[in-house]
Amino acid sequence: MAAEVEVSGVTVTVEATGSDIVKDVGFTLGRGEVMGVVGESGSGKSTLALALLGFARKGATITAGRVVVDGVDLLSLPEGRLRRERGSRVAYVPQDPATALNPSLSLATQLTEGLRLPRREALSRVRPLLEAVGLPDDGAFLRRRPRQLSGGQQQRLAIATAIAAGPRLIVLDEPTTGLDVSTQARVLELVRGLCRAHDMAAIYVSHDLAVVADVADHVTVMYGGEVVERGTDRDVLTRAAHPYTRALLAAVPSATHRHALVPIPGRAPGVGESGRGCGFAPRCEHVVTACERTRPELVPGPSGTLTRCLRADEVVGTPRIPPRLTAKPAASGEPDVFSVAGLNAAHGGRQILFDVSFGLARGECLAVVGESGSGKTTMSRCLVGLHEEQDGTLAFEGRPVPAAAARRDNEIRRQVQYVFQNPYGSLNPHRSVESSLIVPLRHYFGVGAREGAKRAREALERVGIPSRLAGRHPAELSGGQRQRVAIARALVCEPKLLICDEATSALDVSVQASLVELLRSLLADGLSMLFVTHDLAVVRSIADTVVVLSRGRVVESGAADDVLSRPAHSYTRSLLAATLEVPGAPEPVV
């Protein structure tokens, strides 16, 4: 197949220091093909994605390379011509569709404003696209504003807007992060179908290796701004020859079996921190002296991939067998730390939750799962006292708990902590990371500035944030880093119950593995946890019990292994059917 996209030597450099964020990246991609780009936060994935559109964030510049799309080198174009080519030749779909959609404009305006066609003709072009992405194309729908759509609808609208002008390349940056498994499945099928139907090439950036395995034809693995492995999806994900790729795979949870997740030790190098040898050497279990002295080239490896490793033969020969974990026995006879009885909740008078009841024992993790709109977040906000229209009985350590947080005493507010789904909105943008953690320490424990700074930095290190970032503001952090700060802020309060609302959805697999193992250790120390998520693989990894919500009602509940291995309700079976797995994942051993 003739190449639609030819990328060569792309390098993005920090202007102030001359250090490279992305170094000499290249690949080719045919018509209708999808390239998955994976790696930890800070690996350069999003910087590369933007560079493919000829764009670099403030303080950085594209210093070398070619991005040839359908015969035109975008990086050689003058700025005016490049702006015109964005949309018509190359398009972009961001992680958060809300940032790509103007809240004050109608859907019709946003779909057609980039087409430079008369209104009627433009609408006639976009209506088939709306049908293709599973959205209505009638006038009433087109008159809506983005806030009137669900998250999944917003994402599909963003994709329709991106392809309206008929680009030859579409770049998608984490487009399914935060979506439930059913909506994610529909979006992935949409991406595959659109690439085939419109003969488009696609770059799909993601931290979710199971998603990449499902949607991509080829996979590029990035570390420290470099490509460390590249090949077909099957070769990279089932026969990886680079230690970093294998380490990422070892951190991936599975919905079919419970095993210990293995975080990658240490941290990814910052910009300009790589030495003269292999950039992964400080974290690699296969490292030898030559790795620290010699910078490996990207060359054909023993498993059919291109790999940047001096010891690829030894790596391929090492089996991957994750250790199996057994679920904890159900708590018997112990009083519940937190209990819910007959909980009902409404929005604007419309009932959302119906007679929800459950108990949570000391040291137990209860997962609440279901599609978007099932009532998961409403329920968790009721428990923490942030939802007004509710009735029912809440009890903490046997004592009744008022519904409103304002009526709860200070000690209950400290002991029941909440980690919000959206890290962008849960941290004060005007406070430094350290200051955000010192506030609750001062409020609940009365600590001074010096002791508060010490505890804050210890908490940051505990969740994988280097203490050197303590002085930064939220805008200077990645989405995954912000979420880890939010978790650290909850943990400094020394809670007895932690309510996590999709707390790991924005994290790459290694950081997610670190946090899951951290949370598992806290459970062993007696912390109770309510874990709201759409990720059934994470549920299998950490949860003891599961509650399945559908349209505000509990349709199934029980021990995690029973619900996930032998689901009784058709809705639970449908969620499991939509859950993706990395192909060829090794079975764990006891």
**pLDDT 10s digits, 35-61:** 999 998 889 999 999 999 999 989 999
φ, ψ of residue 189 in degrees (nearest 5): -65, -35
Q: How far, rounded to the nearest angstrom, does the alpha carbon of residue 491 sit from its chain's CA centroid?
A: 21
Does residue 1 surpass a pLDDT of 60?
Answer: no
Q: How far, rounded to the nearest angstrom, does the alpha carbon of residue 513 sit from its chain's CA centroid?
A: 13
Q: What does the DSSP 8-state code read for residue 404?
A: S
Mean pLDDT over residues 265-281, rounded?
85
Inside any domain, residue 471? no
**pLDDT 10s digits, 95-153:** 777 777 888 999 999 899 888 888 889 899 889 888 878 889 898 999 999 888 877 78
148: CB partners within 8 A, 6+ apart:
none
Does residue 326 surpass a pLDDT of 90?
Answer: no
**pLDDT 10s digits, 532-577:** 998 899 999 999 999 999 999 999 999 999 999 999 999 999 999 9
Q: Confidence class of residue 439 from pLDDT cuts 50, 70 and 90?
A: very high
Does residue 190 surpass a pLDDT of 90?
Answer: no
Distance in angstroms (rounded) separating the CA atoms of residues 221 and 303: 15
Mean pLDDT over residues 568-589, rounded?
84
Q: Confidence class of residue 332 from pLDDT cuts 50, 70 and 90?
A: low
Inside any domain, residue 298? no
Distance in angstroms (rounded) separating the CA atoms of residues 158 and 110: 9
Inside any domain, residue 284? no
Distance in angstroms (rounded) separating the CA atoms of residues 143 and 149: 12
Inside any domain, residue 76? no
Q: Confidence class of residue 321 from pLDDT cuts 50, 70 and 90?
A: confident
Strands 545-550 and 201-205, bridge-based pairing: unpaired
Q: What pLDDT score was predicted for residue 265? A: 87
Which of 119, 146, 165 delimits the end of a domain?
A: 165
Does residue 424 surpass a pLDDT of 80?
Answer: no
Distance in angstroms (rounded) separating the CA atoms of residues 400 and 26: 61
Q: What pLDDT score was predicted for residue 331? A: 59
Q: Confidence class of residue 325 from pLDDT cuts 50, 70 and 90?
A: confident
**Domains in the chain, number:** 2
Least confident of 151-160, 427-436, 443-452: 151-160
Which of 118, 148, 165 delimits the end of a domain?
A: 165
Does residue 403 surpass a pLDDT of 90?
Answer: yes
Distance in angstroms (rounded) separating the CA atoms of residues 360 and 470: 34
Does residue 275 surpass a pLDDT of 80?
Answer: no
CATH number at residue 416: 3.40.50.300
Does residue 346 surpass a pLDDT of 70?
Answer: yes
DSSP alpha helix (H) spans, 73-168:
79-88, 97-100, 107-112, 119-132, 139-142, 151-163
Which of 137, 165, 193 delimits the end of a domain?
A: 165
Average per-residue pLDDT for the chain? 90
pTM of this structure: 0.86
DSSP alpha helix (H) spans, 6-76:
45-51
Quick check: helix, strand or coil at residue 478?
Answer: coil
Distance in angstroms (rounded) separating the CA atoms of residues 108 and 157: 10
Rg over CA atoms, the chain: 24
Read off the tokens for 589.
């051993």
Q: Distances in Å between the alpha carbon of 509 and those of 58, 185, 233, 368, 440?
A: 28, 19, 17, 21, 29
Least confident of 224-233, 268-277, 354-363, 490-499: 268-277
Tokens 């062993």 belong to which residue?
A: 524
Inside any domain, residue 15? no
Distance in angstroms (rounded) separating the CA atoms of residues 108 and 141: 9
116: CB partners within 8 A, 6+ apart:
none
Does residue 423 surpass a pLDDT of 90?
Answer: no
Q: What pLDDT score was predicted for residue 418? A: 95
Inside any domain, residue 320? no
Q: Confidence class of residue 272 from pLDDT cuts 50, 70 and 90?
A: confident
Q: Confidence class of residue 515 from pLDDT cuts 50, 70 and 90?
A: confident
Q: Confidence class of residue 4 from pLDDT cuts 50, 70 and 90?
A: confident
Inside any domain, residue 226? no
Read off the tokens for 543.
């949860």
Neighbours of 99 (CB within 10 A): 9
Q: Which domain holds residue 527?
A: 350-429+493-578
Inside any domain, residue 367? yes
26: CB partners within 8 A, 6+ apart:
7, 8, 9, 10, 65, 227
